[in-house]
Amino acid sequence: MKIVLATARVLAALALPALPLAPQAAAPETPAAIFKGPWAGPSVMKLPGKGPAPGQSIEDYFLNLETGPRSPSVRRVLVLGGARKFQHDSISTAMAGVHRWGQDNGLWEAELRTDFTLVSPAGGGPMNAGFQPKGLGDFDAVVVASADGDWQLSPVQKKALLDFVRAGKGLVVMHGGLDANHDWPDYIDMVGAEQVGHPFNTLEQPVYPFPLVTENTAFPATAFFPARFVKQDELYTVRNWSRQDVDVLLRIDESAVPVAGKGDELPPDHDMPVAWIKSYGKGRVFASTLGHTREAYRDPEIVRMYTEAIKWALGLSGGPFPRPHPRK
């Protein structure tokens, strides 16, 4: 037994220090097991191009991927549908409508967003891998599809939107877009008015047959309307507007609605515009309170009105420029 222990001590004393294990090569990635069909796909997924540089993220790689010029050849419209107050069920219909109308006439492509990240001064550079907008510099017009409430834009974003329109771009505001950014006077001034109520519409009668008057029969978006007609909708009363500042296209026929008993829910002169245009710097602005319901965006006349409004805002149709006038 003593001999065995002594031998063990000698061997331990002579033992060399342990060497580090050689690094093992990483096992190649293999795709998950297939569940349908005979082919499992490639053993390693490959990215287009030469692949990311060491330390480069996938996001940055695709952001700078050069695949040949793909700059836009048609007008680009940013559609904002991110409601922050009341979620109109017509928003999706309106947004899809703007996209479809552009496809149908081949005049514009629409980017649909329910966030406001693209309301920024970025953009305007060449695009190499499809349309990947960075900001307002990549667009020719903005359509506000009932994106109501406070958008919570930063000062930089607010300035970017105002500068975008002032510089000669277009703005089209649908229905609930007039019920947005009430604490941002410059937005209200740019749009031309703000919503303060809809006294003719109630819970019992959520849509009302409004008698309307066409004041401008030369403008493309309203030239096809009769002098007087009826639309069933939820139409607003507005404040912070002036006929010296906007060219009223349509208004509620105050002589044919029950104004008695409404008190201060109505303006004292009962002047209630429904659609108008205005200049903002070099930019073109169209706004209308029409469009509360999904059905509105299936009404051929409302579709034509907004389609012509977008064309005008993009500078694709001349049309008369805003000419403010007294009530007709």
pLDDT tens string 263-301: 999 999 999 999 999 999 999 999 999 999 999 999 999
Q: How many CB atoms lie within 10 A of CB 244?
A: 8
Distance CA 79, CA 75 (A): 13
Torsional sign, CA 145, 146, 151, 155: positive
Using the predicted structure, report yes or no on whether residue 45 has a pLDDT greater than 80.
no
Q: How many CB atoms lie within 10 A of CB 268?
A: 6
Using the predicted structure, report yes or no on whether residue 95 has a pLDDT greater than 70.
yes
Q: Could you say which DSSP state residue 295 is in?
A: G
Using the predicted structure, report yes or no on whether residue 258 has a pLDDT greater than 80.
yes
- The mean predicted confidence, pLDDT, of the chain is 89
Q: Could you say which DSSP state residue 149 is in?
A: B
Mean pLDDT of the region 11-18: 46
Mean pLDDT of the region 196-201: 95
Q: Could you say which DSSP state residue 258 is in?
A: -
Distance CA 152, CA 273 (A): 28
Q: Do 271 and 254 touch, CB atoms closer than 8 A?
A: yes
Secondary structure of residue 55 in the 3-state scheme: coil
* Model confidence band, residue 44 (pLDDT cutoffs 50, 70, 90): confident
Alpha helices in the chain, H assignment, sequence order: 2-14, 58-63, 91-105, 155-166, 185-191, 300-313
User: For residue 23, what pLDDT is reported?
Assistant: 45
User: For residue 30, what pLDDT is reported?
Assistant: 52
- Sequence-distant (6+) residues with CB within 8 A of 58 are 47, 52
Comparing 116 with 56, the larger pLDDT belongs to 116
Q: Could you say which DSSP state residue 171 is in?
A: E
Q: Do 314 and 75 touch, CB atoms closer than 8 A?
A: yes
CATH superfamily of the 75-313 domain:
Class I glutamine amidotransferase (GATase) domain (3.40.50.880)
Secondary structure of residue 287 in the 3-state scheme: strand
Comparing 50 with 137, the larger pLDDT belongs to 137
Q: Which two tokens stand for residue 132?
A: 């990947």
Tell me whether strands 170-174 and 141-145 are parallel, antiparallel or unpaired: parallel
Tally: H helices and E strands in the chain? 6, 11
Domain layout of the chain by residue ranges: 75-313
Using the predicted structure, report yes or no on whether residue 9 has a pLDDT greater than 90.
no
Side-chain-side CA neighbours of 319 within 13 Å: the count stands at 28
Distance CA 121, CA 109 (A): 20
pTM of the predicted model as reported, rounded to 2 decimal places = 0.82
Q: Which two tokens stand for residue 284?
A: 């073109």
Strand stretches in 184-269, DSSP E: 194-197, 208-214, 228-233, 237-239, 247-252
Rg (CA), the chain: 31
Q: Which two tokens stand for residue 194?
A: 């703000």
Angle between helices 91-105 and 300-313 (to 10 degrees): 70
User: For residue 28, what pLDDT is reported?
Assistant: 44
pLDDT tens-place string over residues 201-230? 988 889 999 999 999 999 999 999 999 999
User: For residue 25, what pLDDT is reported?
Assistant: 42
